[in-house]
Amino acid sequence: MDHHHEVNSKPRRRWLRVALLTGAVALSLLIALVVIPTVSPSTGAAIADDLRSIVGPEPVAVLESISVRLQDTLKQIGYQANGKTAPVIWSDPSSAPLVEAGWQAFGPTPHNQPVLERTSLKPDPSRPYAEAALVRIDLSQVELHMLPGVSEPEAVAGVPPFPRPGRIPAEVQASGQLLAAFNGGFKAVNGHYGMMTDQGVVLQPPLDGIATLAFYRDGQLRLGEWGRDITASADLVAYRQNCPLLLDAGQITPSVLQDSQRDWGTTIQNVDATWRSGLGLSRDGHWLIYAAGDSLTVESLARALQLAGADFAMQLDINSLYTRFVTYRPAGVKTSKYPVESQKLLDQMPGLEQTAFLSPYDRDFFYITARGR
Lowest mean pLDDT among 22-31, 136-145, 287-296, 364-373: 22-31
Which of 82, 116, 146 terminates a domain? The answer is 82
pLDDT surpassing 90 at residue 60: no
> What DSSP state is assigned to residue 79?
H
pLDDT digits (tens, 9 = 90+) for 174-218: 999 999 999 999 999 999 999 999 999 999 999 999 999 999 999
- pLDDT digit string, tens, across residues 34-52: 666 666 656 666 677 777 7
Residues 155 and 271 in one domain: yes
Q: Is residue 88 part of a domain?
A: no
pLDDT at res. 218? 96
- Listed residues 82, 110, 133: the one ending a domain: 82
Percentage of the chain with pLDDT > 70? 89
53 plus 154 within the same structural domain:
no
Cβ–Cβ under 8 Å, residues 134 and 282:
no
- Domain presence at residue 209: yes
CA 263 vs CA 12, 145, 255, 287, 305: distances in Å: 41, 27, 8, 27, 20
Say yes or no to pLDDT of 316 above 80: yes
Question: Residue 87's pLDDT is what?
Answer: 85
- Pair 142, 233 in one domain: yes
Report yes or no: 246 and 305 within 8 Å, Cβ to Cβ: yes
* pLDDT at site 10: 63
**Residue that finishes a domain, picked among 82, 109, 139:** 82
Q: Who has greater pLDDT, 190 or 97?
A: 190
**Does residue 339 fall inside a structural domain?**
yes
> What is the reported pLDDT for 20?
76
Residue 86: is its pLDDT beyond 60? yes
Specify whether 73 is located in the same domain as 107. Answer: no
Cα(282)–Cα(253) distance, integer angstroms: 16
Query: Total domain count for the chain?
Result: 2
The mean pLDDT value for 97-112 works out to 90
CA angle 68, 315, 105 (to 5 degrees): 105
Residues 172, 31, single domain; the answer is no
Q: Is 91 within a domain?
A: no
Looking at the structure, tell me whether residues 102 and 59 fall in a common domain: no
Task: Give residue 22's pLDDT.
Answer: 65
Query: Looking at the structure, do residues 123 and 18 belong to the same domain, yes or no?
Result: no
Expressed as residue numbers, the domain containing 36 is 2-82
For residues 152 and 32, membership in a common domain is answered with no
For residue 373, pLDDT beyond 70:
no
Helix (H, G, I), strand (E, B) or coil at 30: helix
Q: Which of 370, 221, 214 is nearest to 287 (CA)?
A: 221
103 and 77 within one domain? no
Does residue 316 sit in helix, strand or coil?
Answer: strand
pLDDT at residue 18 greater than cutoff 70: no
Q: Residue 130 falls within a domain, yes or no?
A: yes
pLDDT at 25 (0 to 100): 61
Predicted pLDDT at 55:
72
User: Do 153 and 276 share a structural domain?
Assistant: yes
Would you state the pLDDT for residue 226? 98
Sheet with 202-204, strands from edge to edge, namely 202-204, 195-196, 236-241, 211-216, 221-225
| Pair 252, 302 in one domain | yes
pLDDT at position 276 is 96
More confident residue, 292 or 22: 292
Q: State the average pLDDT for the chain.
A: 89
Q: How far is CA 171 from the centre of its chain?
A: 26
pLDDT at 360 over 80: yes
In a domain, 9, yes or no: yes
Q: Is residue 194 part of a domain?
A: yes
- Entry pTM: 0.89
Tell whether 60 and 103 lie within a shared domain. no
**How far is it, in rounded angstroms, from Cα 195 to Cα 43?**
28
Confidence label for 5 from pLDDT (cuts 50, 70 and 90): low
pLDDT at 36: 66
List the alpha helices (DSSP H) in the chain.
2-39, 41-55, 57-82, 170-173, 254-257, 298-307
Alpha-carbon span 330 to 354, nearest angstrom: 11
User: Considering the domain boundaries, does residue 7 fall inside one?
Assistant: yes
Dump pLDDT digits (tens) for 148-180.
999 999 999 999 999 999 999 999 999 999 999
CA–CA separation, 4 vs 102, rounded Å? Answer: 79
